[in-house]
Amino acid sequence: MEVRECINFLLSVSQNVVFKYFSKRLSEYGVTPSQYGVLNCLWQYGDLSPSRISEILSLEASSVSGLLDRMQKSGLIDRHIDQTNRRIIIVSPTEKSMAVKDGVEAVVKEMNDKFLEPFSDEERKALRKALLTIINIE
């Protein structure tokens, strides 16, 4: 099989192109693409437990734990004990992360516009549907 016919190759290379662009654009805000995922969860849903963040982002708990450590060190999030259940840690956005929200969201919109511009609205819907189908195969 020609490598350009392999779905893994096509998805990996496509993701790498988008990731490099996204990383570069987010760097001016001191945020990585992975950190954006966490921040988006917090901006959208409010304070969350690490396990809920893992669930929303479809990431392993250990991956989220390390990510949260780095984000706390850089001042993007705070972690505190849930007052109703002391066994649960709650993650909250900081003033620093709230201050970059509009700029980061503008980068996300710009990135989506850039990479989806060659496609018609119908093709964009089909692409999203195809990717969601792949995600849900397991």
pLDDT band of 43, cuts 50, 70, 90: very high
Enclosing H/E stretch for 90: strand 89-93
Contact 90, 82 (CB under 8 A): yes
pLDDT for residue 34: 96
Write down the pLDDT at residue 137: 79
pLDDT, one tens digit per residue, over 60-103 is 988 999 999 999 999 999 999 988 888 999 999 999 999 999 99
Helix axes 33-45, 61-73, angle to 10 degrees: 90
Domains of the chain: 14-135 (1.10.10.10)
Give the confidence band of 136 by pLDDT, cuts at 50, 70, 90: confident
Bridge partners of 80, per DSSP, are 90
**Rounded Cα distance, 21 and 72, in Å:** 25
Is 138's pLDDT higher than 70? no
* pLDDT above 70: residue 122: yes
The answer to whether the predicted template modeling score (pTM) of the entire model surpasses 0.85 is yes
SS3 (DSSP) at 89: strand
Q: Give the three-class secondary structure for 78.
A: strand
